[in-house]
Structure 1
Amino acid sequence: MARTFLRQVLDKADLLLSGKERFARRKGVTIGRDCRILSNIVTTEPWLITVGDRVTISSEVTFITHDGSGWLVRDDRGRRYRYAPITLGSDVFIGAGVTIMPGVSIGDHVVVGAGSVVTKNVPAGTVVAGVPARAVSTWDDFERKVRAWPSASDMHGTTYRERVDSIVEPPTA
């Protein structure tokens, strides 16, 4: 028990000192290039998670690599276990509060909306949202909308506050 507590304290210190991406790599998560990880990737099987290139994982994202419900079924052979990998392709955005279930593979050029629960594979070029997550748009439509937003070069020479204030949208009713 003391050893477990000490391991947790050391892990927290490591996370704070090294950052979320480096911490996840050290734990065994495979992470591609140019990723932004804003969530603590905490799972008992980190080696089952693979993240492609140019992926953003927002805050409070949960990766579930095992199905603990199998413990409810017991017989003379004991409890049952199920583990499955999770794979994120490249150019993927995972919104805040998303839960990704065991065995899910998310293709390239995918956006997963905040609060979604991803229970099935997501094909490349799809925008999904909801509980459970389902297709709501295509990558092409998403890209077309985003290209209409101001770019970094449009706002050159301004402060962060000036940039945000110049493009902030009014609240929706």
Structure 2
Amino acid sequence: MGSFKRLMTKIRINSMSKGAYIEYLRKQGATIGTGCDISKLADFGSEPYLISIGNNVRITKHVSFITHDGGLWTLRQMGKIDKEAVKYGRIRIGDNCNISWNATIMPCVTIGDNCVIAAGAVVTRDVPSGEIWGGVPAHKIETIEEYYNKIKDVTVPTCNMPKDKKQAWLRENKPELFD
């Protein structure tokens, strides 16, 4: 795709609602369940039709889905494999997952249900259901139950508050955050 066409596609995507963007990805061949929240800054690569996303999945900014092995370029240049050779792999994301900022999901990866992928993680192998993974390469950090038990007594009810109300609530109820 030429650079002008890429720019025009980015402009068109940027002007879409999140719902319209999900429909656009579906038209590109991605399988996406219901109740998903997908950032328009996520990168579905050149083969979105190899990506399946379950229900109630959140894909945040700058997540990249890599569905082919770019390392073959070196082998092609060395004459070790055919100049047209490519290796592809599906990516599957289960239900109720959160894929955090700048995570990269590599080919042939399945992420189970109820998983969290930490910001900046590079996922190179399957993630079992109910686990939190992070790092480069990504590895298990803890189970979702361990995470819940660790944070259940320290959460605050500000998720859907407007920015100014959230700041006021935090200043009043969590002043130590502003020290």
Question: TM-score normalised to the size of structure 2?
Answer: 0.79
Structure 1 equivalent of residue 103 of structure 2: 98
**CA shift for structure 1 position 94:** 1.0
Structure 2 unaligned spans of 5+: none
1:82–1:129 CA distance, 2 compared to 1 (3 A) = same
1:21 equivalent in alignment to 2:22: yes
Root-mean-square deviation (Å): 2.7
**CA shift for structure 1 position 79:** 4.0
Structure 1 equivalent of residue 2 of structure 2: 4
8 Å Cα contact 2:158-2:166 kept in structure 1: no
Counterpart of 2:141 (choices 132, 136, 140) is 136
Q: d(CA) in 1 for partners of 2:151 and 2:59? A: 19
- Segments of 4+ in structure 1 off by > 6 A? none
Q: AA paired with 2:26? A: R
SS at structure 1 position matched to 2:52: strand
**CA shift for structure 1 position 168:** 7.2
Counterpart of 1:147 (choices 132, 149, 152) is 152
**CA shift for structure 1 position 52:** 1.0
Identity %: 31
**CA shift for structure 1 position 78:** 4.0
SS at structure 2 position matched to 1:68: coil
Structure 1 unaligned spans of 5+: none
Structure 1 equivalent of residue 57 of structure 2: 55
Structure 2 equivalent of residue 89 of structure 1: 94
